[in-house]
Amino acid sequence: MTSLSDAAVKHLRAIADLPDLSETKYRLGAPLGRGGMGTVYLAHDAELDRDVALKVIGPLSIRLSDEARILARLEHPGIVPVHDVGVLPDGRVFYAMKLVRGERLDAVFASSLTLLDRLRIFDRICDAVAFAHSQGVIHRDLKPANIMVGQFGEVLVLDWGVAAFRQRETSPTVVGTAGYMAPEQSRGESADERSDIHALGVILEQLLPAPAPKSLRAVCAKASAEQPSGRYQNASELAEDLRRYREGLPLSAYRETLMERAARVATKYQLPIALIAAYVLMRALLLLFAR
């Protein structure tokens, strides 16, 4: 009896795992990514002549029907829309989604983007998360790998496979990714909006350049506080503090010293201050020469 090599077995398993799209309008392409909830493939919609991202997951269940309802509810520019949903002959479920071309957020960490550009990207992430929360949906697995920055500056939050409706999230199970999960998630307790805020705080910490101001570090610390009551209570509050930073205003997360306040005001109003200083200097010189 001839035994198959490990490589041959691996190849056969990969082939067997491929979805059968023969009864659909899609033509299968290369795999784009694999996660705990399924695999995402590049596919071509033959009817509309466009490429899509096709997510193939396990047999239909309550969990997956919840996911379908969640995705249908989240119509927002920062959340990838679902074009189609169906069931394959083997019972597996597929979703056809918009194909996002760009970079994952973790690739942005090593880029040469300015601090303000990084904060603008993060502001769009907060906007998408705030919208989901307004619809009663908790993502529960926010991390850089689930966020894409598109070729034209669009920022999209992906992979809502373990998301849950807030009012239904009561199961004592650990859901999320280590390093981004809030402490209450790690303990298997119910997650709410503040659990997503914790993950946003970790993401912001990683997104900031090494010499980031202490005030922004304080924002990260507040967002990812140990206790939910110590965090920002929603994504809009977090985004508001970052907006205040960009506009040169004091932050709720940071108590600045008198010197820091003077430096912040001087930076915010440096042009008017420079004009006033130039005017005073010119008046002094005129008086000096007049004498």
Closest by CA to 190, choosing from 208, 171, 163, is 171
Is 141 assigned a catalytic role? yes
The number of CA neighbours under 13 Å toward the Cβ of 150 is 17
b/e map 206-230, b = 16+ CB within 10 Å: bbbeeebeebbebbbebbbbeebee
Distance of CA 122 to the CA centre of its chain: 8
Catalytic one of 45, 141, 159, 196: 141
CA distance 263 to 27: 59
Strand bridging mode 102-104 / 147-150: antiparallel
Cα angle 229-78-175, degrees, rounded to a multiple of 5 = 50
Active-site residues, by number, are 141
